[in-house]
Amino acid sequence: MYTVKCLNPIADKGLDLFTEDFKVIDDLDAADAVLVRSASMHELEVPESLLAVARAGAGVNNIPLDEYAKKGIVAFNTPGANANGVKELVVAGLLLASRDIIGGYNWVKENASEENLAKLVEKQKKQYAGNELKGKSIGVIGLGAIGVLVANICNRLGMKVYGYDPYVSVRSAWSLSRMVKHIASIDELFETCDYITIHVPYMDSTKEMINKEAIDKMKDGVTILNFARGELVENQAVIEGLESGKVKHYVTDFPSAEIAGVDKVITIPHLGASTEESEENCAEMAVDQLMNYLENGNIVNS
């Protein structure tokens, strides 16, 4: 019998996969394995006997990987399992930035009780006019599971898609090129694109990769989208860019006191993977990984 502690709520569809040889328990100290979503494990004391951690999500920055590796604790993640959920929210982010849906929605709400609302609408709508995505250029930084889906849908929306990923080989670049029109250097991408969307993991090497120097290279009026991790972007540099007009909008799934409420920042509370489908897919994959490892010693996606 193996014991598993969930540090966050994990979808039943995944937990139901556990065979009778597994038991979900409340006591971390008695756990052979941990299932986690976004809770940070950096300050958490885990038992010496812990064998494995499975993250129901892609990013692993909430897990102290080096420390666990030394202790022999295997860590898994679920790349791709929530990619569609994130992709769809990126499309929403693009539309929220290009069409003034939020301004228009707020205006209608405020004026809902006006008797001549229909007439007022005709006067007002000019103020909320926007731009179309078709024909605009978008730079996708990071061509992993999410980045490729984003590139594909942007291509279908008629956008010119530029891709950048230092780990994508020339051969993969060629097969991706049906949707990614240009595999660019990061500077070319900065200089060329109307929209820039980031899909890389947060690591020492990617910390604040969107900083003042990067923003200075971007096109005037660029919109930056961040559905990856807040730490990838230097908030102060974005705020300065917004103030000067260099940056038109910053759309981010990672609000912080510094950035939330700033004009032209569109932010929501880390909802990229918060769909029933993504949560279930991640839970199923994570549970499968734990059972595979604990019962058979197989390591998938560690």
Smallest distance from ligand MLT to CB 59, Å: 3
Q: d(Cα 119, Cα 141) in Å, to the nearest integer?
A: 44
Q: Is 232 in the site for ligand MLT (CB under 6 A)?
A: no
Q: How far is the CB of 146 from ligand MLT (least distance, A)?
A: 8
Binder of ligand MLT out of 33, 90, 273, 286 (CB under 6 A): 273
Stretch that binds ligand MLT, among 10-18, 54-62, 237-245, 260-268 (CB under 6 A): 54-62
Stretch that binds ligand MLT, among 15-23, 128-136, 173-181, 265-273 (CB under 6 A): 265-273
**Residue whose entry in the numeric block shows the structure tokens 């590796």:** 69
Name, in order, each residue with C-beta under 8 angstroms of 68's C-beta and a sequence gap of 6 or more. 53, 74, 75
Half-sphere exposure of residue 157: CA atoms within 13 angstroms, side-chain side: 21
Taking residues 166 to 205 in sequence order and writing x for each that binds ligand MLT by CB under 6 A, - otherwise, the string is ----------------------------------------
Q: Residue 41 burial by CB count (10 A; 0-12/13-18/19+): exposed, middle or buried?
A: buried
Would you say 92 or 121 has its CB closer to ligand MLT?
A: 92
| Residue 270 touching ligand MLT (CB under 6 A) | yes
* Residue from 3, 13, 17, 38 binding ligand MLT (CB under 6 A): 38
Cα separation, 23 vs 157, in Å, equals 46
Q: In what order do the strands lie in the sheet with 74-76?
A: 22-25, 2-6, 33-36, 52-55, 74-76
Answer for which of 41, 58, 189, 251 binds ligand MLT (CB under 6 A) is 58
Nearer to ligand MLT, 2 or 227 (CB): 227
Burial of 155 (0-12, 13-18, 19+ CB in 10 A): middle
- How big is the CA angle at 275 (ends 35 and 280), to the nearest 5 degrees? 40
CA–CA separation, 82 and 61 (whole Å):
16
How many residues at the interface with ligand MLT, by CB under 6 A? 9
Residue identified by tokens 């731009």 is 131
Stretch of 92-100, 116-124, 232-240, 269-277 lying at the interface with ligand MLT (CB under 6 A): 269-277
**Comparison of 59 and 130: residue with beta carbon closer to ligand MLT:** 59
Q: Provide, rounded to whole angstroms, the least separation between the CB of residue 254 and ligand MLT.
A: 10
- The contact pattern for ligand MLT, residues 74-113, with x = CB under 6 A and - = no contact, is --------x-------------------------------
Told to check if 57 binds ligand MLT by CB under 6 A, we report yes
Interaction between residue 11 and ligand MLT (CB under 6 A)? no
94 to 154, 196, 225, 249, 270: CA distances (angstroms):
10, 10, 8, 10, 16
Regarding 53 and contact with ligand MLT (CB under 6 A), the answer is: no
* CA 102 to the chain's CA centroid: 21
Which chain residues interact with ligand MLT by CB under 6 A?
A: 37-38, 57-59, 82, 270, 272-273
